[in-house]
Structure 1
């Protein structure tokens, strides 16, 4: 290792800062090895492309029914396709860098920072040399494979998102649920209609619309329509204006879907009449219209208007009057 001494006697720079001797790779010495490595990279990119396509095909062709088996199969195909597609891009990029890109270590002498034309020209020259070292211009097949894999890989993420979340948030399935006037409240998952006389003070029921398990898209509809119902002493209820007939003798029903990010509100404190969401601790006061008393939720749980029919069974007066679920931007109040 030799040094160059400056005017003050201190080392100005090292001619060799201690880099180990460079050993060329097989692909550097043998054009056939380089071509073989290129084919390997293209094959890996091709696998990534096929996996992404398989994920898209699976999304559109595998029906998602109401059974766990169909949901599991669709999720498996989509997940494996996404995983292999993204993994293929990473593996191919690493193999490309290890076998085909330049691995020569260069030493650049430290210079005084400046912006004169000579330095700018040097920087442009270095960038061009870097592009040449990457062997991109001389390998159009690799460029095409890389572009195809990168272009297709995000589609399995975007297509389900667009397909499931497109449209107007304030109409259609996002605003309406399976509840309707006269539909009986039933226990979940037994689907047994509930009589008002069977609901005692302090008892809690997880409720679904009666007959819902027999309908198409049961799981999707249940996720929106699920309700938590309890009975309080009528004297403890703070009746909201315009909702005087939404409860029956102290029996109230609210959406079980938290208005923060949609977790199931499941914990009821009988003494305080508070409903607690276990995900982020949003707390709602059942006695006061399920208003938020703590946590990140910014609006009350939607209330289901209820009454009883001629046989004494609890029934809905109507659907929810506001969208259930998380308070997205169109739903903020």
Structure 2
């Protein structure tokens, strides 16, 4: 029996796997190693390296030109004119300029890393990281090595064009901040004050509610139960874009909803703000000003599509979900002698986002 066991042990130790399994069985965790290094054309041909360098800094300067064009487009196609042609051209050409500026930087950076920077493989052994002088010196040396390998310090044209492109790419965004609020002037002293701009809208006592965008007045009797209608002040349809049509509409937009009168939960001071179950709320979301236009007929909820704030139409448009901080402002309404819906007054509070300063 002992001889048989010795024979089995000898046979086991002397058995060798096939060449295809030798590495996997003997050392399953052994790294396969790096493939042979292949030189790039720019490493072998100085002329190819020069072409690659020219390509990179040309793309960076193209980015600078695109950023300048975006700024020029902001001036050439002012959205303040109110003309649809200018607004569309403004969005199109500014977007193309900014997009091309960022795209050129991205392509140039990728071409720089692939064709010009050192592509030799390096091994970085792990070591204990402590705040010693040697560690700090090693960090400085790492930056020096990266500078040497990338050529950032040596290749002045690439470095300078990159800096110019990055700086210029920020300029259009800075310029666009000017359009966030018009500047005040002698003719329009409140233009630069967002509180004053949103304090009042076009709505006035006795002004008829009209369909958006036709301007056709709305009879209370024509509204069916569960309907939701987009509403503007009747005189708004007569305004031209030069007279501030878009600015006034942006503040005065209203959503009109008809419910059963007994479904409404109204506070004492708002009992006469609705008419026979018809309520009117501002369409401007109190979060960041998106249009609240999605009405869920079964739940009586208004949904803002931008950030999913939800408002309860039956309970004075109070917030029931989402980031909005306050209810939608309610427009007091009634009917005139002809049965048309009219406003009792303007909104009693500023419309729009809650982050504006308020009295």
* TM-score of the pair, normalised by structure 1: 0.79
Question: Any stretches of 5+ residues in structure 1 without a counterpart?
Answer: 1-13
1:106 pairs with one of 118, 122, 141: 122
Contact 1:55 1:82 in 2 (8 A): yes
Any conservation in 2 of the 1:292–1:298 contact (CA below 8 Å)?
Answer: yes
Inter-partner Cα distance in structure 2 for 1:29 and 1:203: 74
**RMSD of equivalent CA atoms:** 3.4
- 8 Å contact kept, 1:265–1:275: no
Residue 49 (structure 2) aligns with = 34
Are 1:314 and 2:318 matched, yes or no? no
Aligned residues: 316
Higher helix share: 2
CA offsets 1:295-332 (integer angstroms, 9 cap, x no match): 5543222101223445543222332222323433747x
CA offsets, 1:172-205, max 9 Å, x none? 4344333233322111222111234444555443
Q: How does 1:146-157 map to 2 (within 5 A)?
A: 146-157=162-173
Report the Cα offset of residue 226 of structure 1: 1.6
Contact 2:105 2:165 in 1 (8 A): yes
Alignment-derived partner of residue 61 in structure 1: 76
Which range is displaced more, 233-242 or 127-136?
A: 233-242
Say if 2:309 is the partner of 1:285. Answer: no
> Residues 204, 129 of structure 1: CA spacing in aligned structure 2 closer, same or farther, 3 A cutoff?
closer
Which residue, 256, 260, 263 being the options, matches 1:229? Answer: 256
1:58 Cα offset (Å) = 1.2
Check if 1:139 corresponds to 2:167: no
Q: SS of the residue aligned with 2:143?
A: helix
Matching of residue 186 in structure 1 with residue 210 in structure 2: yes
Task: Identify if the C-alpha distance between structure 1 residues 314 and 115 changes in structure 2 by more than 3 Å, giving closer, same or farther.
Answer: closer
- Change in Cα spacing, 1:27 to 1:302, as seen in structure 2 (3 Å) is same
Q: Which residue of 2 aligns with 1:84?
A: 100
Whole-angstrom CA distance in 2 between matches of 1:26 and 1:114? 41
Structure 1 residues 100 and 192, CA gap change in structure 2 (3 angstroms): same
Deviation at 1:99, TM superposition (A): 2.2
State the structure with more CA Rg.
2
Alignment of 1:1-333 (within 5 A): 18-64=33-79, 69-108=85-124, 117-118=133-134, 120-164=136-180, 170-199=194-223, 202-215=226-239, 216=241, 217-261=244-288, 262-269=290-297, 274-277=300-303, 279=305, 282-309=309-336, 311-328=338-355, 330=357
Matched residues in 2 for 1:115 and 1:132: separation? 25
TM-score, length basis structure 2: 0.74
Q: Sort the Cα spacing of 1:192 and 1:145 in 2 relative to 1 into closer, same or farther, 3 A.
A: same
Residues 63/124 of structure 1: CA separation in 2 closer, same or farther (3 Å cut):
closer
Measured in 1, the distance between the counterparts of 2:286 and 2:101 equals 35
